[in-house]
């Protein structure tokens, strides 16, 4: 019996319509968008046990450094790699106590974050504003030439300090969350200029008053920021009792360094490649952004979590319950007629 002869029968048509409606409801549930939400985070690594913090809507990160590696001469279409490292120093939504060694509520760990991705220059304004967009691939990658990763790691409290440390230890520890950048990234960096269309301003690299062994003394001046979405690929439930689907990650970038000292090194990305502590790669020159192979800038960042809407979860449960019940009813009815 073909489809056309099946649906000409009244009972068959009713069955087809109801099944189609049920399928449409399930599909609608699956594509229901997620929204801003809260998670439960346990800094002790004990899962849902003692120490769990509920109602966490995001993380704040200590002021630290980011590095634009392989920075080209600014031109529309030019691409380069960006690396970032810091430490979680705040929970939003629910207040926590952050120790001097960056522990959370007295935990034995501090939580470092490292990220690597690609950006491209999409526009350069006469006022010195450089507009940026994501140039990373669509999936997680630690490739030294095409990075696209975001990781939060648990390390012993006090291991690294983003304000005055060497910076090389941020990639160590146990990965508790792993993700990659989605297609969207909006960003800009405005080079301070003497006048619109004029030459960028050169000034001191470090005005924080904190000592650094970084040999760079001068730097381009300016500021900007980025906003990007991180898709979560893995979250350790010992720490993320309820895990986010996404992180909306926002940064504010500036030069000179006026709140922290520039780091003197950077982590090696997961798998120890690329080694951006290698002077041939991590080299800001005597004038940062002018005669080195990279540009380092001060960064303040925070992230908010995206989780499934509670109503979506209820709809999924309802659909998964009602559809099997309906199909079971149809099956029993057909068996009774056959008898």
Pairing of strands 287-288, 141-142: unpaired
Which residues, other chains included, contact 132 with Cβ-Cβ below 8 Å and sequence gap of 6+?
119, 120, 121, 122, 185, 186, 187, 188, 189, 226
**For residues 29 and 314, is the Cβ–Cβ distance under 8 A?**
no
Q: What's the half-sphere exposure (Cβ side, CA atoms, 13 Å) at 209?
A: 1
Q: Is 88 exposed, middle or buried (0-12, 13-18, 19+ CB in 10 A)?
A: buried
Pairing of strands 218-220, 287-288: parallel
Task: Give me the tens of pLDDT residue by residue for the chain, a chain 339 residues long.
Answer: 222 222 233 333 333 223 333 333 333 333 334 456 899 999 999 999 999 999 999 999 999 999 998 776 778 999 999 999 999 999 999 989 999 999 999 999 999 999 999 999 999 998 889 999 999 999 999 887 889 999 999 999 999 899 887 777 888 889 999 999 997 888 999 989 888 778 899 999 999 999 888 889 999 999 999 999 999 999 999 999 999 999 999 999 999 999 999 988 787 644 444 456 666 677 888 999 898 888 999 999 999 999 865 544 334 333 444 344 434 434 444 444 445
Could you tell me which of 69, 111, 123, 110 has the C-alpha nearest to residue 282?
69
- What's the predicted TM-score (pTM) here? 0.79
């Amino acid at each position: 019996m073909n489809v056309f002869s099946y649906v000409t029968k009244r009972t068959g048509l009713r069955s087809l319509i109801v099944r189609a409606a049920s399928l449409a409801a399930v599909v609608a549930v699956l594509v229901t968008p997620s929204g801003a939400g809260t998670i439960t985070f346990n800094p002790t690594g004990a899962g849902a046990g003692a120490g769990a913090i509920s109602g966490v809507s995001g993380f704040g990160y200590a002021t630290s450094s980011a590095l634009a590696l392989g920075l080209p001469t600014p031109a529309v279409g030019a691409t380069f790699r960006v690396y970032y490292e810091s430490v979680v120093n705040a929970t939003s939504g629910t207040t926590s106590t952050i120790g001097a060694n960056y522990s959370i509520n007295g935990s034995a760990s501090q939580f470092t974050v490292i990220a690597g991705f690609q950006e491209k220059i999409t526009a350069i304004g006469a006022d010195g504003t450089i507009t940026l967009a994501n140039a990373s691939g669509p999936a997680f990658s630690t490739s030294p030439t095409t990075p696209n990763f975001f990781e939060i790691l648990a390390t012993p409290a006090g291991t690294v300090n983003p304000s005055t440390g060497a910076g090389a230890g941020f990639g160590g520890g146990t990965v508790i969350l792993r993700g990659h950048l989605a297609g969207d990234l909006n960003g800009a960096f405005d080079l301070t200029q003497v006048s619109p269309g004029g030459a960028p301003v050169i000034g001191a690299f470090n005005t924080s008053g904190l000592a650094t062994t970084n040999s760079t003394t001068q730097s381009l001046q300016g500021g900007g920021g980025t906003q990007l979405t991180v898709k979560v690929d893995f979250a350790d439930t010992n720490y993320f009792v309820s895990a986010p689907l996404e992180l909306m990650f926002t940064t504010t970038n500036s030069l000179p360094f006026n709140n922290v000292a520039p780091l003197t090194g950077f982590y090696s990305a997961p798998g120890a490649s690329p080694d951006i502590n290698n002077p041939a790669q991590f080299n800001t020159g005597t004038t940062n952004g002018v005669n080195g192979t990279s540009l380092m800038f001060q960064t303040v960042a925070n992230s908010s979590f995206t989780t499934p809407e509670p109503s979506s979860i209820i709809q999924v449960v309802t659909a998964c319950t009602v559809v099997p019940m309906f199909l079971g009813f149809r099956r029993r009815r057909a068996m009774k007629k056959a008898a």
